Amino acid sequence: MKKVVLFFLMLGIVMSSGTPALADMEDILASHWSNKVIEKDFLLYYFPYLAKENFKRFDPEGVIYGDEFLLSFSSLLRDNGYSSTTLGIKTELTRAEMAKSIGSKLMEIKLIKPGKEKLPFTDIEYMSGEEQKAISALYHSNITLGQSKTIYNPTTKVTQAEAIIVLQRVNKLLDKVTSIPFNLSGSVQAYSGKEGITLNTEGNKVFVTITKEFPTPGYSMKIEEVSRHRGDYEVNLKITPPKKTSIELQVITYKTITIEIDRDQLGDPPYNFVLGDFLSNIDGLCMI
């Protein structure tokens, strides 16, 4: 929700001058190869410095600076619940620098793995082992490719279009890695309590306790999924009410479930857990 609000705020700023700003963006991209690849809302949200003054700086073939690119990358990481990366300096970004920056970070948070297969590029032998490792991991994850089958061109400046598309690919990777594995630690029922979510950290484990109030003891509750959603961790519940034919005591009941999650799955604290959507299973039919 936060991203949606900020997007429309940014859109309002871009449009506030009364000129057809989005039309200007479309005009700039009209004859460029990236026209059908660049996602316009992604550009607006994560590259706002290119959208200023009716896209005055936006040039798909123009250069992008290291500090700005890493600011965009950091925003993307934060929106998906990860810590930001080290910010760069205001110099024109090269393909080698881009690969090292995003490849190292994505390997650090275990979203991609170092590639084990030999790279096809003939122009990266002189690069450091760390740079080659990052290029390999990104190449085998289909995030960055070569400029031909055998040429990577590590010293070539990254264009704005390339930078946007690379972060779009990272975004799709982040969208795929949203489900957080967990183990059930305990489940209890009581006739007094308080709804909410509490956290307790013990060593490398984070214990998440969810308590929910019900009108009768006949309800059952289980956790369907824990997922990373921008800066939060959503706990999605499946709640099954008693059958219509059952006779239940009309007494307020509290169901409490505790799960444990490895801290490695969550990244750096603080952790903000919230209740997401839940499924209600009524007489065998599931509905949201």
Q: Mean pLDDT across the chain, nearest whole number?
A: 83
Q: Is 85 helix (H, G, I), strand (E, B) or coil?
A: coil
Q: Report the percent of the chain where pLDDT is more than 70.
A: 86
Going from the C-alpha of 21 to that of each of 95, 109, 155, the distances in angstroms are 30, 37, 33
Task: Confirm if 134 and 3 have CB atoms less than 8 A apart.
Answer: no
Whole-angstrom distance, CA of residue 269 vs CA of residue 216: 36
Going from the C-alpha of 260 to that of each of 51, 176, 212, 232, the distances in angstroms are 43, 22, 18, 17
pLDDT over threshold 90, residue 275: no
pLDDT over threshold 70, residue 66: yes
Task: Confirm if 76 and 102 have CB atoms less than 8 A apart.
Answer: no
In 3-state terms the chain splits into helix, strand, coil percentages (rounded to 5) of 35, 25, 40
The 10 Å Cβ neighbour count of residue 187 is: 14
Q: Looking at residue 288, what DSSP letter applies?
A: -
Whole-number pLDDT of residue 268: 75
What average pLDDT does this structure show over 228-233?
71
**Burial bucket for residue 267 (CB in 10 Å: 0-12, 13-18, 19+):** middle
**Residues 101, 204, 232: CA angle, nearest 5 degrees:** 60
Q: Is 49 helix (H, G, I), strand (E, B) or coil?
A: helix
Considering only CA atoms, which of 199, 178, 180 is closest in space to residue 270? 199
Pure H helices in 177-254: none
**Residues 177, 179, 184: CA angle, nearest 5 degrees:** 150
Give the position of tokens 């997401």: 276
Whole-angstrom distance, CA of residue 71 vs CA of residue 50: 13
Tens digits of per-residue pLDDT, 171-230?
Answer: 988 877 667 889 999 999 999 999 999 999 998 999 999 999 999 999 999 998 888 765
Going from the C-alpha of 255 to that of each of 186, 235, 247, the distances in angstroms are 11, 15, 19
Whole-number pLDDT of residue 125: 87
pLDDT band (50, 70, 90) for residue 282: very low
Q: Name residue 147's beta-bridge partners.
A: none
Q: Which amino acid is at 207?
A: F
Considering only CA atoms, which of 75, 88, 89 is closest in space to residue 44? 75
User: Does the global pTM surpass 0.85?
Assistant: no
pLDDT over threshold 50, residue 287: no
pLDDT over threshold 60, residue 5: no
pLDDT band (50, 70, 90) for residue 161: very high
- How does strand 196-202 pair with strand 220-229? unpaired
Tens digits of per-residue pLDDT, 18-62?
Answer: 444 556 888 888 888 888 899 988 999 999 999 888 888 999 999
pLDDT over threshold 60, residue 14: no
Whole-number pLDDT of residue 10: 53
In this structure, of 12-21, 112-121, 141-150, 197-206, the range with the lowest mean pLDDT score is 12-21
Q: Report the percent of the chain where pLDDT is more than 90.
A: 44
